[in-house]
A and B are shown apart, each in its own frame.
Chain A
């Protein structure tokens, strides 16, 4: 029997318009390897209390309520979001009900293409078919324990709020084709859910927020060059400074030409960097760099205003 719960309804909107929506789902099935079409039961559907505990953790972290948590940028916004949870142990063993796959390392990875269709199979009185801007699939895989996320695929046919980054034009889009997708292992704690949410809330086509601890990959929050310049970028007409170090005394990797935007608190690495390396193990003190913070606030507020 499916347990679909409206944790909070979110901001009032005209009929048919949804506020910014986060769905948290107990993943029913795991594809045992990418594109294998083999599915194993996800143990999370045998443990509703563990799922509910993880829901509380996610919402506390997004709301800035973990003990000592410094990054509270979503605290004023999140009470206006619609939050829905789904626990349904009765889903068929089908690909459409597998929200996560095991990769060839130890990660659970979202099967992003099936997320929106999965949600549409649920209909609530007064709400209609479910949808989301970001969706968490919580897994209790016994073998794959690292969490991961994929950015939102925007609907680029829908008008939005234009902006530029160093002259390049992009648009904060209020609608998506595929919601941002997080595969979250139920052992995840600390800053994991907020880090992964921040990937998922960004966009494949209108600004990707990437991992700062890896030198590889292009993203809005990563730049390259030596010597490190004073300026990181100009976003939406505002100048953002570059960070001379990774924060908290961490140097950039030897031989790397990567540099980051100025940290909100230079005493700690940024939240998209390796928060596990924060001084004293105090990952909860890590905050987003200034560009990531402004970009995500603008993007999410554009979606909230639809």
Chain B
């Protein structure tokens, strides 16, 4: 995926985001794109994916909604 632009990262940090939240955001999005979507998933894995997607959305809103 296309990296976050450095100026967007700086703006996210200057408007209340933390390094830890940015790191978590990047980690979760990276996991999305590194997971083979065609491998059969157990119900627990499907729930974990949905929880991950929810968290990605929440973090993006917090970090980048003003960017």
Question: Contact flags (1/0) for A198-218 with B, using CB distance below 8 Å?
Answer: 010000110010110111111
- Give chain B's interface secondary structure class: helix
User: Which of these binds chain B: A46-54, A103-111, A128-136?
Assistant: A103-111
B42 to chain A, nearest CB (A): 18
Q: Considering only CB atoms and an 8 Å cut-off, how many residues of chain B contact the other chain? A: 23
Question: Contact flags (1/0) for B42-67 with A, using CB distance below 8 Å?
Answer: 00000000000100110010001000
B60 to chain A, nearest CB (A): 4
> What band does the interface of chain A fall in when counting residues whose beta carbon is under 8 Å from B?
35 or more
Does A153 reach chain B (CB closer than 8 Å)?
Answer: yes
Q: Which of A34, A146, A216 contacts B1 (CB 8 A)?
A: A146
Check B33–A147 contact: CB distance below 8 A: no
User: Which of these binds chain B: A3-11, A71-79, A188-196, A297-305?
Assistant: A188-196
Check A106–B60 contact: CB distance below 8 A: yes
Give the complex CA separation of A213 and B34 in angstroms.
13
A227 to chain B, nearest CB (A): 22
Chain B residues, Cβ within 8 Å of A192: 2
User: Which of these binds chain B: A24-32, A260-268, A270-278?
Assistant: A270-278
Chain B residues, Cβ within 8 Å of A153: 38
B23 to chain A, nearest CB (A): 8
Does B41 reach chain A (CB closer than 8 Å)?
Answer: no
Q: Chain A interface (Cβ within 8 Å of chain B)?
A: 34, 103-107, 112, 146-150, 153, 178, 185, 188, 192, 195-196, 199, 204-205, 208, 210-211, 213-219, 274-277
Given A149-B33, A211-B30, A213-B26; 20 other pairs, CB 8 A cutoff: A104-B57, A105-B56, A105-B57, A105-B60, A106-B60, A146-B2, A148-B33, A149-B1, A150-B33, A178-B38, A192-B2, A196-B2, A199-B1, A199-B33, A204-B36, A208-B36, A211-B3, A216-B26, A217-B33, A276-B6
Q: Chain B interface (Cβ within 8 Å of chain A)?
A: 1-6, 26-31, 33-38, 53, 56-57, 60, 64
